[in-house]
Structures are given as C-alpha cells and as structure tokens.
Amino acid sequence: MTTPELHRPLAAERVGPDGLDVTVHASETECAALAKRMQLPAVHALECSFRLTRDAADSIAVAGYLHAQVVQTCVVTAEDFETTVEEPFALRFVPAGQETDDPDPESVDEIPFTNGLLDLGEAAAEQLGLALDPYPRMPGAELPAAAAGEQPHPFAALGGKKPR
C-alpha cells in the first residue's frame, strides 16, 4: 500500500470522551500531488477541520468543514478558472471489516481504519474529490442554445404562414 498524497495519521485513542478538534493544512507539494490525483490544473490551498467524537466502542464520528482553492477547467469554454470549494461534511471512521452494507446514498460515509490509526489527510482528500463540481462552469459561461437542448420546434417554420 502506498502512502497517500496527503497523509495525516492520528491514533484513534487520542479521541477522548470530550472529543478532539484537528485541522489539516496541505503543503504546496501535497496540493500539487492532489491536483494530479484529482485531474485538476491546480490546487492552491486545502484546509480541513475535523471534530472527532466517540460514536460507539470502536467507531469515531466526524463533523467537518472543507475549504479549498482550486483551478478547474470550464466544461463550456475549456478555460481554466479559480474557484473556492467549501463544504461541511459528516463521516464515520470504523475499524476495517466493520463497515455497514447500507446502500443508502444519504447515509454517513464510513472510512475504515487499521492498527488504531485514522488518516485525516486521506479523509480530507476524499472530501475534496466528493465536493468538486463534476461539470464546472466558470462564472458567466453559457451553453449555446443547441447544446443546452433547446431544439427549435419542428413546425416553427410554419408559424408565420396562414392557411389558404
């Protein structure tokens, strides 16, 4: 197994009964590696705040907030543009092998951990991937009418004609 681009291991035992607050900041090198992984022109900054609390005997609930400055490519103009990605999120760290099989897309995401170590960096990277717009448009970019699915009505040419 290779080390992820953004690796911030944390011992699960550090999360006590009062919880634990942790913030992850990506370095310039880590941002460049994340940009490559996410197939983005650039990631200028990434910061992710985590509020960890014991959920059950072995699992840890997380309420977090992601803030990133990225460059995306507009799907309309093919031009690169800078944008801010901000997203609150919730997830749960669970021991590997104890993940649920819940197919509900609205359920809280689970991230397995092994050897008592949570990887907050990888969790932040995954949240960035989930928060990115899959069809990014730069501000003001408009699809042409034909591409937007606005087809002329087949009888539109007859609109000005009068019956004989």
> Has residue 158 got a pLDDT over 80?
no
Angle between helices 28-38 and 120-131 (to 10 degrees): 50
Residue 37 lies in a domain: yes
Quick: pLDDT tens for 106-115.
788 889 999 9
Three-point CA angle 72, 73, 75, nearest 5°: 130
Domain residues for the domain of 21 are 9-96+108-135
Quick: pLDDT tens for 3-42.
788 999 999 999 998 999 999 999 999 999 999 999 999 9
Please tell me the total count of domains within the chain. Answer: 1
Residue 35 lies in a domain: yes
pLDDT of 146 reads: 54
Residue 156 lies in a domain: no
Quick: pLDDT tens for 73-119.
999 889 999 999 999 999 999 988 877 877 777 788 889 999 999 99
- SS3 for 96? coil
> Has residue 43 got a pLDDT over 90?
yes
Residue 159 lies in a domain: no
pLDDT of 141 reads: 79
Query: Are the C-beta atoms of 124 and 65 separated by less than 8 Å?
Result: no
Residue 3 lies in a domain: no
Residue 2 lies in a domain: no
**pTM of the predicted model, to two decimals?**
0.82
